[in-house]
Structure 1
Amino acid sequence: MGAVTRERIISEFHLLEKKAELLNIEPLEVYLIGGGNLALRGLKSATKDIHIIVLGREQFSLLQNLLETPLPKLPVYVRQYRSRWDYDLGMSTRYLHPLEGFYLDVFVKRVLDKLYLSESMVSRAEAPEEFSSHKWFRIMLVSKEDIFLFKSVTSLERTRDVEDLIALVETGLEYEIIIQELENQLSGDESLKSLVPRITHRLNILMEQLGTVKGLIRLKNYLDKISG
């Protein structure tokens, strides 16, 4: 699969805004996590896939219509699969761009049966300047702190995943936001406590490479406390 650059993402999302206008769909709002978010922030040059979250089934249906409806000279994404269940929480779909060769993964409210896109995450999300004129296909970037939390849970131990986490740490994160968000999610769903060892393992890898970072130590101490 081909990598997609920041410029390609911007161009593609502008095309989807144009398509949404031509289809006259109701306004659609998507939240970027993962590599697409980092690329738009200028924290990585390209990403192999784009991950977005929508807040419910109605928004998911609008997005499905936008991606799959053919219009001349505008992108039509090819659905690779859709989760077997059909409900508002945790449904997912993968699309392939037929020309650019990158994947677009769509999640409804929850990512891979793990973390939720919470109300506090939504409140911290911001619209990038490049898409400030969008009216139909609205792009929101979740905060750096929330990206760090998502990636700490869902990333694999690949070089590029570790590099992404390091890049986020080096921007300077507000670790109290990360801790508070994790507390909120754990209080709402006790099953998420099973994620704590995974996050701790990611922190250990980061601390081996970055050395003493007070925020990472504070976060690890919190995780040790709640797992004890």
Structure 2
Amino acid sequence: MRARFDSSYIRSELERIGEQLDDPLTVFLIGGGAMAFQDLKTTTKDIDLIVASGDDLGQLQAVLLELGYNIVREPDEEYEALGAQRILENDDGCRIDIFHQQVIDKLVLSDGIRKRSERYLNPSNLVVELVSPEDIFLFKAVAGRVDDIEDMFSLLQTDLDFDVVEAELAAQIDLLDQELFVTYVNEALADLTEQHNVRTPLHEPVAEITERVYEELEVLHALDEPKSMPALQQELDYTTVELQDIVSRLEEKDAVKGTADRIERLSTTI
């Protein structure tokens, strides 16, 4: 079982990093580490940090190596799926996950996330911005790790502003130029309901987007070769109006091309 670390330990490690840095560096603390500083979690296995540039990533990695951290070359499946650009671990078992601008191809360090973050620590050359509970909730919803559903439930106790969460979800759709990641949010919310019998204002809009995405994926899968609208309708259980709507959405996403007599798949991703 992996070791867990409290806010005092996390603070100490961040201070060590700040003292070792030669140049100023800003990091955004997200996930369990941020929750520990917000008194929402007593311990965490990881310190999740987002940096804004490749230079910042290189600078942070170099300092961590100087402090005795080692690069985790073969992370387990859960961490590989998380998509951190670098994962480093010290002799205590404390793991630091470094993300460059984006988490798991499902969450971008947006202007909104930056603005809602609050400066929490400023040890020497390191500036630590604490990501808001609303944005941590969204991060947890797409991360897919063992503890994330419990963390989402803990975050619900902070009286989250779900208007902010929903607005950020919409912003992420625009930034990523896709809606597929919303299906992961839907799965997390379903798990949250199953495990804790709670629903949030986010459930309904996320479920609606997820339903649209699954409809579009079903049509794309059926278009293994160009087909006419009647042939496609015969294969799938949609009315003419429903199918026309789905195809129109896919055309807007440049995933299909429709002509007078057939529909052709251009992409398998949306």
Q: TM-score when scaled to structure 2?
A: 0.70
| Aligned with 2:192 (options 193, 206, 209) | 206
Alignment CA distance shift 1:173-1:68 (3 Å): same
Instruction: Please report how far the alpha carbon of residue 225 of structure 1 lies from its aligned counterpart in structure 2 after TM superposition.
Output: 2.9
Instruction: Please report how far the alpha carbon of residue 68 of structure 1 lies from its aligned counterpart in structure 2 after TM superposition.
Output: 1.8
Report % sequence identity: 31
CA contact (8 A) 1:5 1:45 kept: yes
Task: Determine the C-alpha separation between the residues in 2 that align with 1:139 and 1:30.
Answer: 5
One-letter code aligned to 2:207: D
Q: In the alignment, what sits opposite 2:208? A: 225
Verify: 1:162 aligned to 2:149, yes or no: yes
Instruction: Please report how far the alpha carbon of residue 161 of structure 1 lies from its aligned counterpart in structure 2 after TM superposition.
Output: 2.1
3-state secondary structure, aligned to 2:119: coil
Q: Which has the higher contact order (CA 8 A, sep 6+)?
A: 1
Alignment CA distance shift 1:80-1:205 (3 Å): closer
Q: Count matched residues.
A: 203
CA contact (8 A) 1:49 1:103 kept: yes
Unaligned runs of 5+ in 2: 76-82, 213-270
Q: CA RMSD in A?
A: 2.0
One-letter code aligned to 2:193: M
Task: Determine the C-alpha separation between the residues in 2 that align with 1:63 and 1:47.
Answer: 21
Counterparts of 1:1-228 in structure 2 under 5 Å?
Answer: 1-20=2-21, 25-69=22-66, 75-81=67-73, 92-98=85-91, 100-128=92-120, 131-132=121-122, 134-156=123-145, 158=146, 160-191=147-178, 193-211=179-197, 213=199, 216=200, 218-227=201-210, 228=212
Task: Determine the C-alpha separation between the residues in 1 that align with 2:142 and 2:171.
Answer: 16
Task: Determine the C-alpha separation between the residues in 2 that align with 1:32 and 1:113.
Answer: 18
Task: Determine the C-alpha separation between the residues in 2 that align with 1:152 and 1:49.
Answer: 17
CA deviation map 1:109-137 (0-9, x unaligned): 01122211111101111122xx24x2401
Q: TM-score when scaled to structure 1?
A: 0.82
CA contact (8 A) 2:69 2:88 kept: yes
Query: Which of 1 and 2 has greater Rg?
Result: 2
